[in-house]
Structure 1
């Protein structure tokens, strides 16, 4: 709802700064400027792309036999 703060917390303590940087890198690549005045589609495209890339990263590591 409007005016509510995001209460999502990273699963790994201390990862917040890295995830934030990752978010802005993805937004820059997509040509999206993040913000409350943007559409859900624009902001959501960044989160979707982040998820897609994190899953690809995990799959590559699992395929090569590496554990996290």
Structure 2
């Protein structure tokens, strides 16, 4: 079963990935992603690992998703 991520969480991860690629990831952005992941895992009951890996896969490798 695929995890259905909220658009806001995908948007946050995309912002973080863009900042990482540009060499300018901020604590504010990283913390926002972290908080979004924690909230989503609590709501969904999914494991943090599965959520984080799935989210990164969608953002960093959209052709495989």
Q: TM-score, normalised by structure 1?
A: 0.36
Bigger relative CO (Cα 8 Å, ≥ 6 apart): 2
Which one has a bigger Cα radius of gyration?
1
Structure richer in helix, relative to its length: 2
